[in-house]
């Protein structure tokens, strides 16, 4: 295994509103290695986006720590480290229609980060960096003078990716980067992200709800439900031997483009009350090598025998 | 699929044009379609292919800048396009043909109680007194799987989750016992587990009430789940239609091939996904030949010159591509399509064995 690039330890995020508080993320721990694409999969409200936003320091962590390249980046950190984090961890958002400034040219949008951190010597170097980033995502130099509304959804998402690439980050958080795109365009953006990973050894945190996309893109998958990780395994392992009932219900719900399979499938419904955690408390256990699941002792023993 | 095939609705050579910024755009370029009683038809295509516009013409809901210069829509012995006023449309829209839209938050009134929103539809269309309308509304809410209906009747939309709201929208759509239910991306805004429940619900209600369903979607997984028949749309035209097994296991149009090839489910890891090059044509200009030709690896010279007719593949399966012409060279379909063909054959053999 490679070096760890990011580790999240016992993360808890609580939102407060007056006297009410809501814990969106609890007890979440995982590591992401260099050159790896790690996926967080869950439904809306599961806390997956909150984790991404906490890593990039938009939301503060209530408890727990986040380490980037072995340096602690959660809580109060030095200004230089903050700058370093902003440069090296970049985020791609879901909706390319909402995440670009409509009144700025593509040239400005892509170079905004460069301006903020003075990442260029002179105007020529800045232009070169912008053109290079645009070329990298398959756009042309002449596009730099245009405005976002002149582009289609897929092209806009490329602009978002170009803006991220201009910063030369080491780690990219992609929050549902293709959900808002049309089917035929999705493949283009997925291919682009995949090529960038292979060419530059970038690491990804890929946040998604669509397991078919994740299966294609991710090396490892963590399944999150109501703020807690339920299961974590290598991609094919997770699909071959899903253990947690929530993972299994999620897999059964994904519509497969295969009518004979789809018309004969049985839908599994997850009901939390099926767990009896009154005495035997659940913990994070490694049932198979590298395959973790949240379970108590009795369940873990059952899971171990499930695929025997 | 129903064996006796009586069309409930017939579209003939429909053309829809929109006036946008003083230019005219042809959104539907001569579409013909039969909808059979009791079936579930899925219309697939990318955004802008015209799938929503097509079904909007069934309920007279085209935007005011749209017009229909040619075609007929036959339903219950009359041409729906003869209906001129909104008042006359009310006998059809909601009553005979109802629509469930994508976003349940925008199709419900946030200021009105859920119960009121259901009963007012019943009162209006069926001319029933309040008390009876309420009774029907409560039954409908139970039918769509709302628990504790007595209390939930008085809740507001914001007190419902996305999936529950979509259930209410379905209840409202069914309040007048429509003959056709149009589901326009009914689950796109929902989570996968909720999506699966809603699809199941619609299937269950279809059995119970016996309506005909049209699904509009771009998700081939959903299509595989719900559809009896599939129509694939591209640039304002239907380019291929057939039974769901024919479209998935034996597609013939290169655009259908491209759609199936771009699915991540069928791709091998570490190999690039198939991406359709380019973008759909602009519908402001007249399209010469096959609209998909510029993006099509399989395009023949004639595709750029002349529009292909429909070729018959089986009694139920038609595709609009020159590749099926007897003079066309044999085309080698993409790997993903071959894989699907193989799968289809294996299932067919299993089925044949099981029936023995």
Q: In this predicted model, what pLDDT tens digit does every residue of A174-232 receive, in sequence order?
A: 998 888 777 777 888 888 898 888 888 899 999 998 888 898 899 999 999 999 999 99
| Residue B165 reports pLDDT greater than 70 | yes
Task: Name the band, by pLDDT with cuts 50, 70 and 90, for residue B1.
Answer: very low
Q: What is the DSSP code (8-state) at residue B295?
A: G
Entry field: residues in chain A: 308
Whether B237 contacts chain A with CB within 8 A: no
pLDDT of A266 higher than 80 = yes
Q: Which residues neighbour A233 within 8 Å (Cβ) at sequence distance 6 or greater? A: A220, A221, A241, A288, A290, A291, A292
- The CATH architecture one would assign to domain A4-102+169-241 is 3-Layer(aba) Sandwich (3.40)
Q: With contact defined as beta carbons under 8 Å apart, do B255 and B239 qualify?
A: yes
As a whole number, mean pLDDT of residues B40-46 equals 93
pTM equals: 0.86
In three-state secondary structure terms, A70 is: coil
pLDDT at B181 over 60: yes
CB-nearest partner of B221 from A43, A190, A254: A254
Q: Residue B138 and residue B116: Cα distance in Å, rounded?
A: 11
Pair B117, B168: CB distance under 8 Å: yes
β-bridge partners, A285: A293
Q: Distance (Å, rounded) from C-alpha B219 to C-alpha B206?
A: 21
pLDDT at B30 over 50: yes
In 3-state terms, what secondary structure has residue B321? coil
Cβ <8 Å between A259 and B266: no
- Is the distance from CB of A164 to CB of A90 less than 8 angstroms? yes
Please report, for residues B28, B100, B228, the alpha-carbon distance to residue B66 in angstroms, rounded to integers and kept in the order given.
Answer: 11, 21, 31
Question: Which pLDDT value is given to residue B3?
Answer: 52
Residue count (chain B) = 356
Q: What does the pLDDT look like over A103-156, one tens digit per residue?
A: 999 999 999 999 998 889 999 999 999 999 998 888 888 899 999 988 878 888
Question: To the nearest whole percent, how much of chain A has pLDDT over 70?
Answer: 99
Other Cβ atoms within 10 Å of A236 Cβ, number: 12
CA A77 – CA A72 distance, rounded (Å)? 8
In the sheet with B212-217, reading across from the earlier edge strand, the strands are: B97-100, B180-184, B212-217, B40-44, B229-234, B237-243, B317-319, B311-314
Q: For residue A147, what are its two tokens?
A: 């405005």
Task: Tell me the pairing of strands A203-208 and A171-175.
Answer: parallel
User: CA-to-CA distance for A27 and A115, rounded, in angstroms?
Assistant: 38
pLDDT of B2 above 50? no
Delimit the domains of chain A by residue range. 4-102+169-241, 244-308
Residue A272 confidence (pLDDT): 87
Nearest CA in chain B to A192: B272
Residues A20-42: tens digit of each pLDDT: 889 999 999 999 999 999 999 99
pLDDT of residue A1: 58
Q: With CB atoms and an 8 Å threshold, state whether B265 touches A43.
A: no
Interchain contact B262–A (C-beta under 8 A): yes
The residue extents of the domains of chain B are 104-175, 252-355
Percentage of chain B exceeding pLDDT 90: 62
Tokens matching residue B251: 């597609």
Q: Mind listing the pLDDT tens digit for each residue in A41-51?
A: 998 888 999 99
Q: Which residues, in sequence order, are bridge partners of residue A72?
A: A67
pLDDT, residue A137, reads: 87
Please check whether residue A214 is in contact with residue A235, taking contact to mean a CB–CB distance below 8 angstroms.
Answer: yes
Which residue of chain B comes nearest to A185, CA vs CA? B275
CB contact under 8 Å between B248 and A215, yes or no, is no
CA distance A229 to A252: 19
> What are B265-291's pLDDT values in tens digits?
777 777 788 888 877 888 888 899 999
User: Which residue, among B162, B141, B163, B140, has the nearest Cα to B152 in the 3D structure?
Assistant: B141
CB atoms within 10 A of CB A30: 19
Residue B199 pLDDT more than 90?
yes
State the pLDDT at residue B278. Answer: 77
Chain B CB contacts of A247 below 8 Å: none
pLDDT beyond 60 at B196: yes
Residue-wise pLDDT tens digits, B106-137: 889 999 999 999 999 898 888 888 899 999 99
Q: Cα(B104)–Cα(B173) distance, rounded to whole angstroms? A: 12
Of A209, A256, A259, the CB nearest to B191: A209
Q: Which two tokens stand for residue A162?
A: 């170009």
In this prediction, residue B4 carries a pLDDT of: 59
> In the structure, what pLDDT confidence band is assigned to residue B201 with cuts at 50, 70 and 90?
very high
3-class DSSP state for residue B4? coil
If phi > 0 it is left, if psi is from -120 to 50 it is alpha, else beta; for residue A65 that is: beta
- pLDDT surpassing 90 at residue A288: yes
Average pLDDT over residues B174-192: 89
Backbone angles phi, psi at A153, to 5 degrees: -55, -45
CA A14 to chain centre: 20
Chain B residues close to A210, C-beta within 8 Å: 192
């Amino acid at each position: 295994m490679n070096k760890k690039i990011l580790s999240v330890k016992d993360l808890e995020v609580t939102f407060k509103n007056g006297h009410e508080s809501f814990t969106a993320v609890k007890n979440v721990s995982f590591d992401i290695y260099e050159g790896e694409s790690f996926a967080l999969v869950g439904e809306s409200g599961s806390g997956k986006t909150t984790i991404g936003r906490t890593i990039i320091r938009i939301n503060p962590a209530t408890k727990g720590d986040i380490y980037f390249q072995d340096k602690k980046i959660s809580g109060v950190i030095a200004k230089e480290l903050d700058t370093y984090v902003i440069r090296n961890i970049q985020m791609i958002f879901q909706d390319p229609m909402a995440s670009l400034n409509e009144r700025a040219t593509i040239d400005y949008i892509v170079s905004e980060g460069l301006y903020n951190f003075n990442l260029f010597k002179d105007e020529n170097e800045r232009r070169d960096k912008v053109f290079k980033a645009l070329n990298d995502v398959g756009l042309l130099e002449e596009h730099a003078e245009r405005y976002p509304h002149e582009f289609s959804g897929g092209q806009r998402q490329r602009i978002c990716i170009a803006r991220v690439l201009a910063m030369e980050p080491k780690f990219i958080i992609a929050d549902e980067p293709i959900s808002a795109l049309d089917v035929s365009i999705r493949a283009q953006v997925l291919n682009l992200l995949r090529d960038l990973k292979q060419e530059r050894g970038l690491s990804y945190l890929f946040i998604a709800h669509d397991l078919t996309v994740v299966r294609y893109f991710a090396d490892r998958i963590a399944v999150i439900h109501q703020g807690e990780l339920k299961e974590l395994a290598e991609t094919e392992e997770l699909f071959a031997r899903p253990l947690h009932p929530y993972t299994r219900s999620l897999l059964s719900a994904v519509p497969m483009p295969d009518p004979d399979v789809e018309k004969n499938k049985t839908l599994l419904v997850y009901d939390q009350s099926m767990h009896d955690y009154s005495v035997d408390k659940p913990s994070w256990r490694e049932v198979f090598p590298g395959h973790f699941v949240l379970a108590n002792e009795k369940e873990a023993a059952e899971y171990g025998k499930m695929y025997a | 699929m129903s064996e006796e095939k009586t069309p409930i609705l017939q579209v003939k050579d429909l053309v829809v044009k929109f006036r946008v910024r003083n230019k005219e755009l042809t959104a539907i370029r001569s579409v013909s379609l039969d909808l059979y009683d009791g079936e579930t038809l899925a219309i697939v295509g990318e955004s802008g292919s015209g799938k929503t516009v097509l079904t909007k013409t069934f309920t007279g809901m085209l935007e005011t800048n749209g017009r229909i210069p040619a075609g007929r829509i036959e339903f219950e012995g009359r041409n729906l396009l003869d209906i001129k006023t909104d008042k006359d449309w009310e006998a059809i829209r909601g009553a005979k043909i109802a629509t469930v839209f994508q976003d349940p938050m925008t199709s419900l009134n946030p200021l009105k109680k859920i119960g009121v929103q259901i009963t007012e539809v019943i009162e209006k269309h069926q001319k029933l007194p309040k008390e009876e309308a309420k009774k029907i509304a409560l039954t409908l809410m139970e039918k769509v799987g709302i628990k504790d209906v007595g209390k939930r009747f008085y809740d507001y939309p914001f007190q419902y989750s996305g999936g529950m709201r979509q259930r209410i929208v379905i209840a409202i759509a069914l309040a007048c016992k429509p003959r056709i239910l149009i589901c326009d991306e009914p689950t796109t805004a929902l989570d996968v587990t909720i999506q699966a429940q809603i699809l199941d619900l619609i299937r269950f209600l279809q059995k119970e009430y016996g309506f005909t369903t049209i699904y509009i979607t771009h998700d081939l997984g959903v299509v595989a789940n719900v559809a009896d028949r599939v129509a694939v749309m591209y640039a304002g035209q239907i380019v291929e239609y057939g039974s769901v097994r024919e479209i998935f296991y034996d597609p013939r149009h290169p655009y259908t091939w491209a759609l199936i090839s771009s699915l991540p489910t069928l791709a091998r890891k570490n190999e690039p996904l198939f991406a359709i090059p380019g973008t759909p044509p602009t519908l402001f200009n007249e399209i010469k030949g096959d609209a998909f030709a510029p993006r099509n690896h399989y395009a023949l010279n004639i595709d750029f010159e002349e529009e292909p007719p429909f070729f018959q593949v089986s009694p139920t399966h038609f595709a609009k591509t020159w590749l099926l012409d007897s003079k066309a060279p044999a085309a080698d379909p993409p790997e993903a399509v071959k894989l699907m063909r193989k799968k289809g054959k294996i299932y067919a053999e299993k089925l044949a064995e099981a029936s023995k």
